Amino acid sequence: MIMLDDFFTRALIAGVGLALIVGPLGCFVVWRRMAYFGDTMAHSALLGVALSFLFDISMTLGVFGIAALVSLLLVFLQKKKTLPTDALLGILSHSTLAIGLVLVAFMAWLRLDLMGYLFGDILAVSKGDIALIYGGGCVILAILGLTWRPLLAASVSEELAEVEGLNPQRSKLIFMLLMAGVVAIAIKIVGILLVTSLLIIPAATARRFAPSPEMMALLSSLIGGVAVVGGLFLSLYYDTPSGPSVVVAAMLLFVLSLSMPSQRGS
């Protein structure tokens, strides 16, 4: 019987918890073709980290605040219709990342481990982090469950959802805020640059086999959990970085799925 260290056990519990949260959200990212939006949320997190240190506030709160602000700014700019959405996302993504890096450079007294925030350190999670993941995750999944029908309808057709009185714009804004919450929770575990990967890859893998949206959400969480466990043991045995190893494991599951017959017509 293999005896695991406490830090490794905490990493497994935290990683699986995160997979359960991002699975259903990742499905909407795939359905709505919002992968670039996920990148924008993740890149803005560095600015949230810098401001958290500058104003001495909770990092989770700082990252969520900036990610939520970026979401609101995107909605406002989309209504102006001055630029296409992908251009707006590009501007917001790279601008917030650059501002965060410049702000860190100005704080000469701060010794910030950028690699740790860019790629995460799941092996360093504490019991408090685990409580945040599962507590915050329950809130996120509960809100997602309440908005599931309008979000799903808007993913198919915003015009149809509007006709049915489901208010797709409100649902979209709620979804963006939920994404901001996930980024705030996930930053310490998989880092800024890998958050989007954990959102997209398991959902893309699940899409090939799920006969219904609900089953896809469930499969996405399951595949994400398997990727977390596989990636962590991969990092344990081969002494590789834990966060990237989790994403590599997810990628290997996706590649493996390509050799299997799909249950979907498309």
Residue 209 lies in a domain: no
Per-residue confidence of the chain (266 residues) as pLDDT tens digits?
A: 455 788 899 999 999 999 999 999 999 999 988 888 888 888 888 899 889 988 888 888 999 999 999 988 988 888 887 788 888 888 998 999 899 889 988 887 777 777 777 777 888 888 999 999 999 999 999 999 999 988 888 888 777 777 777 777 888 889 999 999 998 888 877 787 778 888 999 999 999 898 899 999 999 999 999 999 999 999 999 999 888 899 999 999 999 999 887 665 44
Q: In the structure encoding, which two tokens stand for residue 67, read together?
A: 């990610």
- Residue 32 belongs to domain with CATH number: 1.10.3470.10
Is residue 214 one of the residues assigned to a domain? no
Long-range contacts, stretch 110-113, CB < 8 angstroms, 24+ apart: 110/53, 112/49, 112/50, 112/53
Identify the three-state secondary structure at position 2.
coil
Residue 223 inside a domain? The answer is: no
Q: Is residue 175 part of a domain?
A: yes
Give me the number of domains the chain comprises: 1
CA distances from 220 to 104, 199, 206, 212, 214 (A): 36, 9, 5, 12, 10
In a domain, 66, yes or no: yes
Contact indicator for 73, 96 with CB cutoff of 8 Å: no
Residues spanned by the domain of 12: 6-193
Report if residue 239 sits inside a domain: no
Is residue 168 situated within a structural domain? yes
Q: Indicate the pTM of the whole model.
A: 0.88
**Residue 134 within any structural domain of the chain:** yes
Q: Which two tokens stand for residue 134?
A: 């599962």
**CB-CB contact of 45 with 63 (8 Å):** yes
